[in-house]
Amino acid sequence: MAAKKKRSPNVDNDSWVTIAADSVVDAQKNDSDPTFVRLRNPSTGAASLYVLGSGDLQLYEVKAFEEDFHSWFIGQTVQRDGRLVFITPMDPLFLIVPCLSKSAKEGTFQPLDQVVMDEEFSACSRLLKCKSALASLHHIAEEKEVETLKFYRFSQDKTIDWLKKKVERTVTVLKKREICVGEGVKSTTYVRVKPAADHQEEDYLRYAHGLISEYISQDLSTALLKHLGLPQLMSPKETEPPAKKRKISEQPVEAVEDYTKFNGADFSRKPLKKMTAAQKTLAKVDKTGMKSMSSFFSPKVKAEKK
């Protein structure tokens, strides 16, 4: 038998199988075409692909089902790329929160167009055209009107309340879809002991919190967890497997490569813009021996890891 052909990289892909919300291509409302744009992912800080609907009125996120060894037959064609791309509506506030919270450090009310922007991702300012976002800004910010102009200041308390409602809504859908939220392996060979009802409720809350955390910074995620009345887990074994635990680190991650472009990795990253005088002073202080704030909240596993 001849030797099996080696897999070669699929470099010339020009076709994608997608499942998209009907509104993406709803011809009735189209005055302009929807566009795929790259924006900063609020959780990872890295570039992610989104879709801005016609007239930028609607935001969608793009996620791909991707498993090795798949291809498509489409009509009378074969497509090597076996991914299935989902284009689902997303709340634009999730992308506005990091813009507002970043500027909140200055503590002043600011006009939106000066805040909702990202030098790296020029499409960011188009979020301001999302009607639903403008109408619901009060969920995440305090509003001040001076004559005809509106000014905003990020409110963490409001945002956390808003996020809590998201978590609750997500729990409802999780239950409706009967999605397995319990810890451990989903497997027919491992029968899980049925937990008490309240325990199960906590499973749902934690699971929904984890999902919402895909859309917010680590700091907000930690604050939200506290607000939900869920203690930080003492041992990752108790719920999420260790691999799923996020690293909570106040120390800047040592840069192996130049990540200045995509330094989205860590939310303790330096502010992109100038530091305040106080911050500068703080930055110069020798922090060795000081305990970071978050270390009080972080799980003990960190200490065990050595």
Output the smallest distance, CB 104 to other proteins, in A. Answer: 21
> Looking at this protein, which amino acid is placed at residue 274?
K
- Which residue's CB is nearer to other proteins, number 22 or number 113? 22
- Which residue's CB is nearer to other proteins, number 86 or number 151? 86
Output the smallest distance, CB 107 to other proteins, in A. Answer: 26
Output the smallest distance, CB 136 to other proteins, in A. Answer: 6
Crossing angle between the packed helical segments 197-212 and 156-176, to the nearest 10 degrees: 120
- Which residue's CB is nearer to other proteins, number 62 or number 110? 62
- Which residue's CB is nearer to other proteins, number 199 or number 246? 246
- Which residue's CB is nearer to other proteins, number 202 or number 266? 266
Nearest to 137 by CA among 90, 91, 102, 93: 93
Output the smallest distance, CB 141 to other proteins, in A. Answer: 15
Strands (E) across 115-173 are located at 141-146, 149-154
Contacts for 48-52 with beta carbons within 8 Å, 24 or more apart? Answer: 50/90, 50/95, 51/24, 51/87, 52/123, 52/126
Output the smallest distance, CB 65 to other proteins, in A. Answer: 4
* Alpha-carbon distances, residue 292 vs 216, 238, 303 (angstroms): 21, 25, 14
Tokens of 162: 């808003």
